[in-house]
Every structure is written in C-alpha cells, then in structure tokens.
Amino acid sequence: MDLRREGKIIKALSFLFNLAMPLYLIYANLYFRRLGFTGGQIGFIVSAYYLTNFLFQPFWGYISDLFQAKKLVLMGLAVLSAGTVLIYLRGDSFTHILITAAILGSTFPAIMPILDATAMEYIHRARVNYGSIRIFGSLGFMTAGLLGGQITGIFGLKSVFVGCSLTLLAIVIISSMLSGRAASDESEEDTQKVSAAPLAAIGRTDQIRKLIQNRSFAFFLMTTFVVQGCMAMGFGFLNIHISNLGAPDSFIGTVWALAALSEVPAFLAMAFFQKKIGARGIVLMAYSVMAVRWLLFSFVRDPLMIIPVQMMQGFSGGYFFGGSVTFVQEESPNGLKATGQTIFGAVNLGLGPIVGMSLGGQLADLIGLSNLFLVCALLTAGAAVFFVITQRGFAKPKET
C-alpha cells in the first residue's frame, strides 16, 4: 500500500477512536448517576471496566503479535465494542450495567494500544514523528468535547452510546482499508517463525520474559502506574470540582475541548523534543508538568481559572501518552511491539485507574477535592524523581 494513503487511514483511525472514547468516558458516569446509582456503585462499575481491561489487554496484544493480525484484531475489537456499548440501553439495573461495563472493558480500551502499534509500524516505514499521528487524536477528543454537550442536550444522554457505537463501526470500515503488513524491521526469518503459530508461541516465551525482565521497562511501568492512578482519581473528580465551583454543565465540555486543543501545538513540537531529549525526556517533562498542574488545581477557586490550567494538557497528559508510546516501542523487541503496548495499556488504563478510582473516592470524602489534587501533585512529583533515578544510565536499546 502507498505510504501516503496508509498514513491518511491511520490518522483517520486516530481521530475516530479519540472521538468515540471521550463520548463514553465523559458522559457514561453522568448517565449512571441519572439512573439513580450511588457514588459507590458508580465507582464499582468503573472499576469493573478497568479490571477487565487490565486482564484482557495483554491477551489481545499477544494474539495480535503471534498471528501478525493487528488489522483483524483491531476490526474485531471495534465490532465487539460497538455492539456491547448499545447493551447499556437494554436495561437500567445495577447488575445489567455492571456486567455490560465489564464486557466493554475487555475490548474497547484495547483498541488504542493495537492502533498505536499499527501507527508505530507506519512511522518506522514512513520516517515521520508520532506527534504527526497523535495530533489527529487530539482533534477527535476536541470534537467530542465540543459536540458531546450539544448532542446530549438535544437527544439526551442515551445518544452518546449510539454515537459511540456508530463511530466504532466507522473504525471497522476504515480499518479494513489497512494493508495489514508487518513492521519492516522484522526479518524474514522472524516472520516465518510467527507464521508457524501457535507452535511459535513456545519460542516467543523467552522474548516475552526478556521484555518483562527489562529493568528500564519495569521501572517505567511502576511510575506510569502511579501517574495514571493519580490521573484517574484526579480527573475522575475534576468535573465535580468544577461544578462545585458554580460552573454550568456546558462549561465542562468546553474545558475539555480546550484541553484537547492544547495538544495540537504540543504534538507539532514533539518531533523537536524527540530529537533533543528523546522519549525518556518527553516522559519526564510530562510527569513534571502534570505535577505542577495538579498543584494549581488544588488552589483554583474560580471556574475560569480552570481554563489556563487545562491548557497545560498538551505538555502533560498529551506528552505522557505520546512519550510513553514511543518509549515502549523502543524497549519492546521485534515481534512483541503490540504486546509491549498492551502491557503498558493494561497498567496505564487498567491497574492504575483501578487503584486510583478506589482510593480517590475515599480520599475525596476524607480530605476534600482540593487536598485530593495536592496528593496527586505530590505522588506525581515523586514518580518523576523515581523515573530520573531508575532511568539513569539506560541508553536507547538496540533492536533484537
């Protein structure tokens, strides 16, 4: 396939996924609240979603790598997610919603690391920067923030599930246009070994063990667990904090749209920082800016002051994901690129949020939201220091 056409397809997929995911994440909890669920019940539902994500993401990544079937896995996950999200509309009991969330968590979040691994293969061949792809994800997120509030205002909260499902079906259609070729950095011998699956799984065990035992990768996962846990509990209560400050609900969508907008110039500048400080430097920058961001949130008392703090998203949350994807790609051996991304995704979008959401609710009740943000600042700063100490001396690994 022509690289230019493939690049357009991947950019479209990045836009669509980052349109679908916020439609669900921003409005699902509000829908659950309108159904009459308590905060504890909502927390349990969200934890079930992230728990199954944590359990299944490595599996999907391993299957994708083992059979060299990123395209088919991506399409399958999108189909399953599109159908599952509509099940929310078939009942309103706690058990129904809980089971639906658990099923959806096993497929929906796993799309992102598979898509990232596919994008990184394209980036390797086309010799472009990850930021040139991720910027379209930011545009998708911004679109979700701007349109989500308007759509729910006209058609009600149930419409976001329909919109999310339709967007996922669009991902299926666009994904079918991908070439499905393997990364060019894998040798013909490696490809032949993979094509012998599932017998090849035995030979790949050593590679997986090598990845897990990689100290640089393991220490990175420790820090991302803390940082993402803080992001889950902090952002999980940020909208409530904004509302408590007296801002209207429509203001929340605008705030998140502006946060996504800030990622555009950040990702345009990512190629420059990649050359100057590398993936590790970008991750450290993200940790540092995020710590400052949480500190500022703890002092904000005027809703309008949320806006400039949210505009730090590009160099904090945006660079956290962008730098992390690049870091994981560098640390993962050939043939396990998707596995590495999904292990990262399982910790980043599974284990971290599970713990973060569990602790966040209790801390919010005990110490208040402002102090909760202060705790996030201290933990994130600690993770940044730990990252500096543990990554010192690690050079960019050679491909194996």
Distance of alpha carbon 157 from alpha carbon 166, whole angstroms: 15
- Tens of pLDDT, residue by residue over 15-33, are 999 999 988 987 887 788 7
Determine, yes or no, domain membership for 19.
Answer: yes
Residue 290 pLDDT class (50, 70, 90 cuts): very high
Determine, yes or no, domain membership for 398.
Answer: no
Determine, yes or no, domain membership for 46.
Answer: yes
Residue 268 pLDDT class (50, 70, 90 cuts): confident
CB 173 within 8 A of CB 74: no
- Tens of pLDDT, residue by residue over 50-97, are 889 888 877 887 788 777 788 899 999 999 999 999 999 999 999 999
Q: Which pLDDT does position 46 carry in this prediction?
A: 83
Determine, yes or no, domain membership for 187.
Answer: yes
- Tens of pLDDT, residue by residue over 122-176, are 887 887 776 778 788 888 988 888 887 778 778 888 998 999 999 999 999 999 9
Determine, yes or no, domain membership for 173.
Answer: yes
- Tens of pLDDT, residue by residue over 291-321, are 999 999 999 999 999 999 999 999 998 899 8
Contacts of 95 (CB under 8 A, 6+ apart): none
Percent of the chain residues topping a pLDDT of 90: 36
Percent of the chain residues topping a pLDDT of 70: 88
Q: Which pLDDT does position 398 carry in this prediction?
A: 43
Distance of alpha carbon 177 from alpha carbon 179, whole angstroms: 6
Determine, yes or no, domain membership for 342.
Answer: yes
- Give the residue numbers spanning the domain of 177: 3-391
Whether the predicted pLDDT of 186 surpasses 50: no
Q: What is the mean pLDDT of the chain?
A: 83
Determine, yes or no, domain membership for 399.
Answer: no
Q: What are 58's two structure tokens?
A: 């490595």
Give mean pLDDT, residues 273-293: 93
Determine, yes or no, domain membership for 396.
Answer: no
Residue 12 pLDDT class (50, 70, 90 cuts): very high
Give mean pLDDT, residues 226-246: 85
Task: Provide Rg for the chain, Cα atoms.
Answer: 20
Tally of domains in the chain: 1
Instruction: Choose among 151, 160, 139: nearest CA to 12.
Output: 139
CATH number for the domain that contains residue 363: 1.20.1250.20
